[in-house]
Amino acid sequence: MSYPCVDEDDFLVQGDGSFGPQHYMQWRHVATNSAASLQNAYDVDGGNQAADLLQLQVSWTNSSPISMNVYGLLTRGGSVITNQPRNRAYIETYIGAAQGAAPADPTASTLIGRFGNGADFGTVDSNTKTVFSNLQTRQAERTMLAGDTIVLPAGHVYKLRVRLRWDAEFWETLPVYLGDTESELSIITGATRLDLYAYPQL
Amino acid sequence: MSLKVCTSEFLISDSRGLEFSPGWLPSLVAERMAVSGKDGNVDRSPDQVPFIDSEILWTNSGDDSVHTMVSIHRAPRSIVTSTPNTLVLDDAWTWDIGVSPSAPLPFGTNSGVGIRFQTTQSFNPVIYTRLFRDFPDSVSYQDLGEVPPGETVHFRYRCLFSTPGNWRAPVQPLLLASARWARLRLWSSPWITGVI
């Protein structure tokens, strides 16, 4: 049965002839994925210990007959960095996105966030020891737009990926003056969540 | 005089004409502004002390399930500490959905802003050091999920001050914490096929 006066891409006509809006003609929360917090401790004067911490991806397939606007939100949980000088260390957030009929997983290479600290009291004993200090900063959870708002044709897939990386501009290699028993180089990343939202492209 | 047509959910056809039902429109259904009651000088506090304690109660009085989401907007926060003490303002929230919901008291650690700057080891005397830090405002979006018709969502938020870790009497101490305010907003949109 056809209904020449009703656009069935926009409206759903029930068997009894009544009709209402199609479910996809609305702003919708369509996909989510999350990763738990990581808690890592590092060698305070061990030199370069840069490493990727985690990767997380969310994807959604537009199963409606019309194009959808799709955007992603990234929620980064509360983070803690405790740092022994002269390290100048941070947690970086990278994102990447891909769309298509069957897109490959994107590479998360666009830097959108960096949280870190550092303090430098110099060195002693003819530059053979680093001066003690211990700096900690904490950042609260926050939600941010991740990537573009894209138009996703019917049947196509959108993938959004995030990568957390532990890196530094300077890595301490000298031993701590008077010992490193109270020195600490550690991170708590907080949980990471990706959410996708879609609304119709009219 | 309007022509009446047969409608299913989310459309209304009555004497005024054909229109969307109120439940179809995404909307802001409840809002709460809460201010900190304890901003200013602080002291050692191994247990968490609430600076802000707020909640939202909202009942879905419509005929259809809705998808709910809360935005938690926290003010800029400021902390001043003296070596070697750690000052923290944690954020915590909980929620419950039901006929008579009761969200648990929110607790949380490692979830907010804070600073520590220790400039001498514990076997040496404390030296004069102050660290000043202001944090920009932040917003978190929290999905609460489906609220069926007739059911209520109870959302609670607390900003909690504490001083984790070791504590020493600083030289000329200056210890300050400001949480300022938090703004809670509850958003609703129709619970339809494809929503999670």
CA angle B90, B146, A35 (to 5 degrees): 45
Cβ count near B31 (within 10 Å): 12
Into how many domains does chain A fold?
A: 1
**Mapping DSSP to helix (H, G, I), strand (E, B) and coil, where does residue B24 land?**
helix
- A17 within a domain of the structure (yes/no): no
What is the reported pLDDT for B2? Answer: 66
- A99 within a domain of the structure (yes/no): yes
For A107-120, how does the pLDDT look when each residue is reduced to its tens digit (9 = 90+)? 999 999 999 999 99
Residue A14 is encoded by which pair of tokens? Answer: 């029930």
**For tokens 């053979």, what's the residue?**
A128
Interchain CB distance below 8 Å, B121 and A178? yes
Q: Taking the complete model, does pTM exceed 0.90, yes or no?
A: yes
Considering only alpha carbons, which residue of chain B is nearest residue A118? Answer: B117
Selecting from B6, B67, B84 the residue whose C-beta is nearest the C-beta of A29 gives B67
A138 touches chain B (CB under 8 A): yes
Question: Average of pLDDT values for A182-194?
Answer: 95
B190 chain-A contacts, CB cut-off 8 A: 26
Under the banding of pLDDT at 50, 70 and 90, the label for residue A10 is confident
B13 touches chain A (CB under 8 A): no
What is the reported pLDDT for A179? Answer: 87
ipTM: 0.90
- A163 within a domain of the structure (yes/no): yes
Interchain CB distance below 8 Å, A20 and B7? yes
Query: Is the pLDDT confidence value at A181 over 90?
Result: no
Residue A83 is encoded by which pair of tokens? Answer: 């740092």
Chain A interface disruption, residue of B5, B8, B65, B66, most A CBs within 10 A: B8
Question: Average of pLDDT values for A24-35?
Answer: 95
Identify the CA nearest to A53 among candidates A195, A160, A191: A191
Which is it for the CA torsion A158, B143, B50, A40, positive or negative? Answer: negative
Query: Is the pLDDT confidence value at B1 over 60?
Result: no
**Mapping DSSP to helix (H, G, I), strand (E, B) and coil, where does residue A10 land?**
coil
For B92-133, how does the pLDDT look when each residue is reduced to its tens digit (9 = 90+)? 999 999 999 999 999 988 999 999 999 999 999 999 999 999
Under the banding of pLDDT at 50, 70 and 90, the label for residue B148 is very high
Question: Average of pLDDT values for A124-128?
Answer: 93
Please compute, for residue B44, the number of CA atoms within 13 A of its CA located in the half-sphere on the CB side: 10
Query: Is the pLDDT confidence value at A4 over 80?
Result: no
Query: Is the pLDDT confidence value at B179 over 80?
Result: yes
Which is it for the CA torsion B134, B111, B143, B107, positive or negative? Answer: negative
For B21-33, how does the pLDDT look when each residue is reduced to its tens digit (9 = 90+)? 877 889 999 999 9
Interface of B with A in 115-144 (CB under 8 A): 115-124, 133, 135, 138-141, 143
Whether omega before A86 lies within 30 degrees of 0, making that bond cis, reads: yes
Under the banding of pLDDT at 50, 70 and 90, the label for residue B153 is very high
The residues, any chain, with a CB within 8 Å of residue B124's CB and separated by 6 or more, are A178
- A31 within a domain of the structure (yes/no): yes
% of chain A residues with pLDDT over 70: 99
What is the reported pLDDT for A73? Answer: 97
Interchain CB distance below 8 Å, A78 and B190? no
- A14 within a domain of the structure (yes/no): no
Instruction: State the nearest Cα–Cα gap between B196 and chain A, in angstroms.
Output: 6
* Whether B79 contacts B179, CB under 8 Å: no
- A112 within a domain of the structure (yes/no): yes
- List the domain range (segments joined by +) for residue A136: 27-200
Rounded CA gap, B184 and A104, in Å? 39
Q: What is the dihedral of CA A43, A57, B146, A22, to 10 degrees?
A: 170
For A37-87, how does the pLDDT look when each residue is reduced to its tens digit (9 = 90+)? 999 999 999 999 999 999 999 999 999 999 999 999 999 999 999 998 899
